[in-house]
Amino acid sequence: MKKYQGRVVAPGTVTAEALVSHGGLNTLASFQKALQFGDKTATCGDQNNPDLYGKQMAGKALCLPRTIGSTTGGLVLYCACSMHRQPACMLFSEPIDSLAAAGAVLADVWLEDVQMPVVDSLGEEFLSYVKDGMKITVKENGTVEVE
C-alpha cells in the first residue's frame, strides 16, 4: 500500500475503485451524454480521452491531473453530483483548476445530501503509480491510500 498526502478541496472519506486519466478530463465532453440520457453509471463520452472513453465514472475514484475544456465544467460536475452520478471522489495530481474547483465547491456548499471528496496536489508520482481497479481510500485530512 502506498500513501499520498494532498490538499482537501472538498472534505469527506470514501473507499472506491480507481479509474485513471493521464490526460486532462474534459468534463463537458465526458459527462454530457450521461446526464442528458439517463445513464446512471456516467459512461465517459470524451472521444479524445483514450483512458476513460466508454468507461463508467460514477462511483469510481477518479484520478486525474486536471480538468480541461468548456467553462460549463463546474456546473456539469454540480449537476452530476445533484443527480447522484458523480465519481466517488476526485483525486488530482496537480493543483485543482478553476472549473473543477467550481464544481467541487458548488456541490459542497449548495447540495445537502451529496458527498464527493476532492483532494488535489497529490503529485506526479501518484498518477504514475495508480492504475485502474486499484483500491483507493480517502481520509478526512487529504491522505490517499492506494492498494
The residues that touch other proteins, with contacts defined as CB under 8 A, are 9, 24, 26, 28-29, 32-33, 35-37, 47-48, 66-75, 78-79, 82-83, 96-99, 101-103, 105-106, 108-111
Cα separation of 140 and 41, whole Å?
A: 26
Min. distance of Cβ 83 from other proteins in angstroms? 7
Min. distance of Cβ 34 from other proteins in angstroms? 9
Three cell numbers written together for 102: 467550481
Min. distance of Cβ 55 from other proteins in angstroms? 16
Min. distance of Cβ 9 from other proteins in angstroms? 6
Task: Give me the sheet containing 7-10, strands edge to edge.
Answer: 2-5, 143-146, 135-138, 14-20, 61-64, 89-92, 118-120, 7-10
Cα separation of 4 and 28, whole Å?
A: 28
Closest CA to 87 of 130, 52, 112: 52
CB nearer to other proteins: give 11 or 137: 11
Start-to-end Cα distance in the chain:
4
